[in-house]
Structure 1
Amino acid sequence: MAADLYADYVIVGAGSAGCVLAARLTESGEHKVVLLEAGGDDRPLKEPSQFISNIMIHTPIGFGKTLNDPKVNWLYETEVDEGSGGRAHKWPKGKVLGGSSSINGMLYVRGQSADYDGWAQMGARGWSWDDVLPYFRKSEHQERGEDEFHGADGPLNVSDFPDEHPVSAALVEACQQAGIPYKKDLNDGNQEGCSFFQMTAKNGRRHSAAVAYLHPAMKRPNLTVETRAMTTRIIFDGKKAVGVEFKQNGETRKVMVGREVILAAGAVESPKLLEISGVGQGALLQELGVKVVHESPMVGENMQDHYMIGCQAALKEPHHSINQLSRGVKLLGEIAKYGLTRKGLLSYAVAHGCAFVKTRPELQFPDVQIHVMAASMDLEYLNQYQGLRLDKDPGMASNPCQVRPESRGSIHAKSPDGTVWPKIVPNYLSDPIDKQSVVDQLKLIRKIWQQPALEPYLKEKGDPFGNTDEEMLAYAKLAGGTLYHAVGTVAMGDERYPLDPQLRVRGVENLRVIDASVMPKISSGNTNAPTIMIAEKGAEMVLAGAKQAVAA
């Protein structure tokens, strides 16, 4: 089968990282790039079959619909997980240009400076906080303006939360009364404090990686974007990656490359693609009937995710939350308001306020993140469909997660067929430290809810968490789930890890991985901003490699 596409670089996956890479690698006009996306276009007029789904993508509150929409969401399912009550979990991942940045909660969180210093200490030299800060700044158009931590000339628009709902403001005030200091900027490397979130939004609309980076780049003649193109294997000549094979509209096609194959398929698909192409654990590959190109034991291992516990409470009349705005006449009013002003309910991200806090005074850095909002979910719908729908009655939520979990899961191919989902084993709360953490988190939420700022709002005193540590752990196992932050499955670092600090796959040539899977440890908070930073830095590494090759 002859190749029908040729490029200097092929990028597999048009998610948060892939969009950045496509834009940066084509900027100079010197390099021809092919970008493969297994999903469809994110623009409504380009995809009539998913017109409404794409409208929801660009409307911030639409994440509640796209979170369970198979037209734009892979909706992976994990294995049954004993650590979280013997449940299987749905894992939403974007199946559209922009990837998960097109369906996520739009929260802009970089993590702690210590996260990146820790990466460098694990062998990922060049990835300390001082090393990565320039790439956060490069990516960012911060509406507050430029300073030593923030950029104002980058593609990705970062804006303040559009409204401060009275209940959300009371939650942030209660955090302060519980001893958490107010901190306006949670993205300067020192996270400790509480505040309102910033969002990847512009003029009341989602600002995904596709909108920020890819759409402008698609006008360039040296970029070819193929949608509905499911990559099924990397093509090797010996130990050199020379192209990829993909399926599109029932046909098998090939892209051959002159320089590099770059996997940006995310923490779920990148390890699977490596394995079915011959890079991974030898025994597993032999079971799959895949020829071993290079033995790499840590491919698919080291999976980390943030496990968030649902904690919500009812409000008493006449205090309302945004729940009441999502139905009937009030919803019609909010639609009209959004159409006229780009504000109101439809402009909201998944959470309103945020706190990063230490659960124990001896800790050097915050170990817990709390998402607070003037909203509560329909728990029956959530449990049945693992989708989001606002409750009928007024409510609020304070949902915590441990930012640096010790538990490790895995993601491995279960078939040599590239269209088959991999086996996802989350292993939530499998480490004793994580089990103690969820108990500490619930005690912290209890303390916040007991503060004077919330007394006028709460319908009842108390909470459903339990009285003993054992009861609290049992509650957390059944009330928690993924925060959609899977990382680490093709990590960079020292010789133990599949990638070197240049994001090159060890043991083979012309192959890199540049996406959330490269994190040796998960960042402290929402992972989209760090993934975009990784792609900015990774693109520079790729271009530097090209210059070195020419000079040689």
Structure 2
Amino acid sequence: MVEFDYIVIGAGSAGCVLADQLSKDAASTVLVLEAGGSDRSFWIRTPIGYGRTFFDPRINWMYETEVDPNTGSRKSYWPRGKVIGGSSSINALIYCRGMPGDFEDWEALGAAGWGWDTVRSHYEALETRVGEDGSSSGSGPLYVTNVRREIHPCNRHYFAMAREMGLPVTDDCNGPEPEGVTHYRITTRAGRRWSSADAFLKPALKRRNVKLVTNAMVERVDISGRRATGVSVLLAGGRQQFRARREVIVAAGAVNSPKLLQMSGIGPGELLNGMGIDIVHDNANVGGNLQDHLGINYYYKASEPTLNSMLSPWWGKLLQGMRYVLFKRGPLGLSVNQCGGFVRSRAELDRPDQQLYLNPVTYTTSPSNKRPIINPDPFAGFILSFQPSRPSSRGRIDIRSADPAAAPRIVPNYLSTQKDLDDVVAGGRLVQRMARTPAIRAFATQAMAPDIERFDDDAILEDFRQRCGSVFHPVSTCRMGNSEATAVVDHNLKVFGVEGLRVADASAFPNITSGNTNAPTIMLAHRAASLILQDRPRGPVPIQT
């Protein structure tokens, strides 16, 4: 049986960071297990390739939720990375630390030591910030790039709109004044996607004390008594067990981390009994407290060329493809989301309650023989979009069977609180005011149905129920807190009731941050590694059985 000091389950946004930080201790050995395979793909490396990986089952778990009665009795599609780098290899690249108040809320919910001043120091250690002139600051492995010079010129209308409305405009939502309309920073380096695997895992693999095993489906965490001792894994050649001298760290993401704990006997006792799984520790919070962001797009035909004009015709695709291949410049080197920011729907609020996405493109999803394809529309168009930043609704993720290959049951329970309904109406009213500004009136020739300007509050809410979609930010299914009465892990990310086991990914968020969750997930893993290393024993550690 092969033994390692640390076993990290998942080579995604968090797992790659853990592999890098833990292996800096030369006396420790680290095994990283990833269910997916290689990230060597043109569409992964190319930033706007997001649209091509969105429905690719080779690198994407392609989850679906249960039918949700609060969103038009529809299922929601949830892409999740099944590849080295995890969702950081297939996401839309936006890098948002979150609002400082998000982390003060974490600490208030029992995550002692996770306030803004602490987490900010980890962000600063992680990042190299690349300016629009190519200069850089910081010395971290994660490149966060200012692409202002590359974004489409029609974006100027959004900033004019903000000024006409009296909304703040900020240089950087990760800077000292994060509130306001901005152009988003993205995780690219020299025009290529810079995933968590690029920043952390690949440098770690140059060390002799790190081993990566791909296409490895972890069946369960092996637990003896009350201690995690290793993992059982399904590989192409059959089942294999690996032993952990020190700790097993689950970093499989907000969907698969609670699933794995439940498969290992840690979760709601009634559910586990029904699946024939021996109960190690009964904790109904495993899989509970699920949160996610919902967003909606409003489409407009434009009075001047937008990205559609560049990327819809075949010759435009060819031209921009050549430009990218030769120079790593142009729209293929950007996120589909170019501008947006965090704003207050009403001036009297004490913090931003909405995140905006202001995109110089409209698109349709077309069927194909293999998988749907996202294509820009054949006319100039743009999008106004909002997502309520801090939803309070909470859902659940639970296993359907004892089969490790079976997708879990995802019940999002969207829009189940009055606060969330009120936030939707507030966001819709904000977009109405945006659409009525002189800047947008000049930019838009026609609102594509449905036209939000015609809606009252009830219509805003009903349209949102029928058309909204996940922004793919699931969190909190193994949430951090004071005790197992409300949480799964403590403020050191240790699983309640089991020794030698931690969860370190977005599932541990006490609640959802205001914006995109990739940056705070990477930060959490970075701090998790420091906590783990602080606890490491000195000298040889015997396997406990």
Normalised by the size of structure 1, how large is the TM-score?
Answer: 0.93
Amino acid at match of 1:263: V
Residue of structure 1 equivalent to 2:151? 164
Q: Please, which of 302, 305, 308 is the counterpart of residue 323 of structure 1?
A: 308
Q: Is the 8 A contact 1:323 1:395 kept in 2?
A: yes
1: CA distance, partners of 2:265 / 2:65 = 24
Q: Is the 8 A contact 1:138 1:151 kept in 2?
A: no
Q: 2:1 aligned with 1:11, yes or no?
A: no
Q: Please, which of 12, 22, 28 is the counterpart of residue 25 of structure 1?
A: 22
Q: Is the 8 A contact 1:112 1:189 kept in 2?
A: no
Q: 2:455 aligned with 1:472, yes or no?
A: no
Q: Please, which of 483, 487, 490 is the counterpart of residue 475 of structure 2?
A: 487
Amino acid at match of 1:325: M
Question: Shift of the alpha carbon at 1:142?
Answer: 0.9
Q: Secondary structure at the match of 2:363?
A: coil
Residue of structure 2 equivalent to 1:70? 57
Question: Which consecutive residues of structure 2, in runs of 5 or more, have no partner in the other structure?
Answer: none
Q: Secondary structure at the match of 1:243?
A: strand
Q: Secondary structure at the match of 2:92?
A: coil
Q: 2:508 aligned with 1:518, yes or no?
A: yes
Q: Is the 8 A contact 1:84 1:478 kept in 2?
A: yes
The correspondence of residues 36-435 of structure 1 with structure 2, limited to 5 A, is 36-43=33-40, 54-144=41-131, 152-161=138-147, 162-188=149-175, 190-316=177-303, 319-326=304-311, 327-378=313-364, 388-435=374-421
Question: Shift of the alpha carbon at 1:189?
Answer: 6.1
Amino acid at match of 2:28: H
Question: Shift of the alpha carbon at 1:438?
Answer: 1.3
1: CA distance, partners of 2:177 / 2:241 = 46
2: CA distance, partners of 1:248 / 1:190 = 48
2: CA distance, partners of 1:388 / 1:329 = 17
1: CA distance, partners of 2:366 / 2:144 = 34
Q: Is the 8 A contact 1:113 1:189 kept in 2?
A: no
Structure-2 change in CA distance of 1:441 and 1:388 (3 Å): farther
1: CA distance, partners of 2:74 / 2:205 = 42
Question: Shift of the alpha carbon at 1:480?
Answer: 0.9
Question: Shift of the alpha carbon at 1:116?
Answer: 0.4
Residue of structure 1 equivalent to 2:495? 505
Residue of structure 1 equivalent to 2:436? 450
Q: Is the 8 A contact 2:366 2:374 kept in 1?
A: no
1:1-46 Cα shifts (integer Å, max 9, x gaps): xx3x210010000000000000111113211111000000112xxx
Question: Shift of the alpha carbon at 1:115?
Answer: 0.5
Q: Secondary structure at the match of 1:444?
A: helix
Normalised by the size of structure 2, how large is the TM-score?
Answer: 0.94
Q: Please, which of 24, 31, 34 is the counterpart of residue 34 of structure 1?
A: 31
1: CA distance, partners of 2:283 / 2:78 = 26
2: CA distance, partners of 1:379 / 1:313 = 17
The correspondence of residues 527-546 of structure 1 with structure 2, limited to 5 A, is 527-546=517-536
Structure-2 change in CA distance of 1:190 and 1:424 (3 Å): farther
1:527-547 Cα shifts (integer Å, max 9, x gaps): 000000001000001111104
Q: Is the 8 A contact 1:159 1:202 kept in 2?
A: yes
Q: Is the 8 A contact 1:158 1:198 kept in 2?
A: yes
2: CA distance, partners of 1:95 / 1:9 = 22
1: CA distance, partners of 2:468 / 2:196 = 28
Question: Shift of the alpha carbon at 1:362?
Answer: 2.4
**Number of aligned positions between the proteins:** 531
1: CA distance, partners of 2:70 / 2:540 = 52
Amino acid at match of 2:121: P
Structure-2 change in CA distance of 1:454 and 1:473 (3 Å): same
Q: Secondary structure at the match of 2:320?
A: helix
Question: Shift of the alpha carbon at 1:250?
Answer: 5.0
2: CA distance, partners of 1:14 / 1:106 = 17
2: CA distance, partners of 1:190 / 1:293 = 47
1:361-384 Cα shifts (integer Å, max 9, x gaps): 2211000000111001216769xx
Q: Secondary structure at the match of 1:408?
A: coil
Structure-2 change in CA distance of 1:151 and 1:492 (3 Å): farther
1:226-280 Cα shifts (integer Å, max 9, x gaps): 0000111010111110000111115111111100000000000000110111111
Q: Is the 8 A contact 1:107 1:350 kept in 2?
A: no
Q: Secondary structure at the match of 2:445?
A: coil
1: CA distance, partners of 2:386 / 2:64 = 23
Q: Is the 8 A contact 2:35 2:82 kept in 1?
A: yes
Question: Shift of the alpha carbon at 1:550?
Answer: 7.7
Q: Is the 8 A contact 1:90 1:386 kept in 2?
A: no
Question: Which consecutive residues of structure 1, in runs of 5 or more, have no partner in the other structure?
Answer: 44-53
Q: Is the 8 A contact 2:366 2:372 kept in 1?
A: no
Question: Shift of the alpha carbon at 1:520?
Answer: 0.7
What's the RMSD between the two structures over aligned residues? Answer: 2.0
1: CA distance, partners of 2:516 / 2:26 = 33
Q: Secondary structure at the match of 1:310?
A: strand
Question: Shift of the alpha carbon at 1:188?
Answer: 3.1
